[in-house]
Structure 1
Amino acid sequence: MSFETLTVSSGRPEPATGGDPVGAVLEESTVNAISPADPRTDSKWRQLASGPAGGLFTSPPWIQAVCDSYGFTPEARISEAPDGTPVGGFAWVTVSDIRGERISALPFCDRADPMLTGPDAWPGLADEALATGTPLTLRCFSDNPATADPRLRSVGEAAWHGTPLDCTEDELYTRISSTSRRNLKAADRNNVTVAASTELDAVHAFHRLHVRLRKNKYRLLAQPVEFFERIWQQFTGTGSDTTAVITLLAEVDGEVAAGAMYLVWGDTLYYKFGASLSEFLPMRPNDALYWAALKLALSRGLRAVDWGISDLDQPGLVSYKRKWASEERRVVTLRGGPDPTPKTEVGTMLGELTRLFTEPSVPDEISTQAGALLYRHFC
Structure 2
Amino acid sequence: MPVRIVEDPVEDPSWSALLDRHPAASVFHSPGWLSALRQTYGYEPFVVTTSPGPTLENGVVVCRVRGWTSRRLVSLPFSDHCDPLVDGSDDLSEILALLAGEARTASWRSVELRPRAVAGQAFEVAARACGLKPGGEYCLHRVDLRAEATEIFRRFHPSSTQRAVRRAEREGVTYEAGTSSRLLTSFYGLLRLTRRRHGLPPQPLAWFRNLVTCLGDRVLIHVASRDGQPIASILTLSFKNTLSYKYGGSDASLHRLGGMPFLFWRVIQDAQARGFVELDLGRSDVDQPGLVAFKEHLGATRSMLTYYRYPERQVDAGRSDWMSRAAHGVLAHLPDATLDLAGRLLYKHLG
What's the TM-score bracket when you normalise by the shorter of the two chains?
0.7 to 0.9
> Are the structure 2 counterparts of residues 105 and 187 from structure 1 closer, same or farther at C-alpha, using a change threshold of 3 Å?
same
Amino acid at match of 1:108: F
Higher gyration radius (CA): 1
> Are the structure 2 counterparts of residues 289 and 331 from structure 1 closer, same or farther at C-alpha, using a change threshold of 3 Å?
same
Amino acid at match of 1:231: L
| Structure 1 partner of 2:344 | 372
- Count of residue pairs brought into register by the alignment: 338
Where do 1:130-209 residues align within 5 Å? Answer: 130-132=100-102, 133=104, 134-144=109-119, 145-149=122-126, 150=128, 151=130, 152-179=132-159, 180-209=161-190
Tell me, in whole angstroms, the C-alpha distance in 2 between the residues paired with 1:83 and 1:69.
30
Amino acid at match of 1:136: V
Deviation at 1:44, TM superposition (A): 2.5
Amino acid at match of 1:186: R
Deviation at 1:108, TM superposition (A): 1.2
Where do 1:26-175 residues align within 5 Å? Answer: 34-50=4-20, 51-80=22-51, 86-132=56-102, 133=104, 134-144=109-119, 145-149=122-126, 150=128, 151=130, 152-175=132-155
Aligned residue for 1:75, secondary structure, equals: strand
Tell me, in whole angstroms, the C-alpha distance in 1 between the residues paired with 2:77 and 2:314.
15
Deviation at 1:74, TM superposition (A): 1.6
Show CA shifts across 1:146-178 (max 9, x none). Answer: 222222211221111111221332333233333
Aligned residue for 1:124, secondary structure, equals: helix
Show CA shifts across 1:265-315 (max 9, x none). Answer: 222111010111111111111110110110111111112111001111112
Deviation at 1:43, TM superposition (A): 2.0
Q: Percent identity?
A: 26
> Which sections of structure 2, spanning at least 5 residues, go unmatched?
none
Please give the TM-score of this superposition, normalised by the length of structure 2: 0.87
> Are the structure 2 counterparts of residues 248 and 92 from structure 1 closer, same or farther at C-alpha, using a change threshold of 3 Å?
same
Amino acid at match of 1:76: V
Whether the 8 Å contact between 1:270 and 1:308 is mirrored in structure 2 is yes
| Structure 2 partner of 1:221 | 201
Aligned residue for 1:36, secondary structure, equals: strand
Aligned residue for 1:376, secondary structure, equals: helix
Please give the TM-score of this superposition, normalised by the length of structure 1: 0.81
Deviation at 1:321, TM superposition (A): 1.0
Whether the 8 Å contact between 1:249 and 1:258 is mirrored in structure 2 is yes
Which is helix-richer, 1 or 2?
A: 2
Amino acid at match of 2:208: F
Tell me, in whole angstroms, the C-alpha distance in 2 between the residues paired with 1:324 and 1:89.
34
> Are the structure 2 counterparts of residues 84 and 102 from structure 1 closer, same or farther at C-alpha, using a change threshold of 3 Å?
closer
Whether the 8 Å contact between 1:79 and 1:88 is mirrored in structure 2 is yes
Is the deviation greater in 170-179 or in 256-265?
Answer: 170-179
After superposition, the CA RMSD in angstroms is 2.8
Whether the 8 Å contact between 1:37 and 1:45 is mirrored in structure 2 is no
Deviation at 1:83, TM superposition (A): 9.6
> Which sections of structure 1, spanning at least 5 residues, go unmatched?
1-30, 237-242
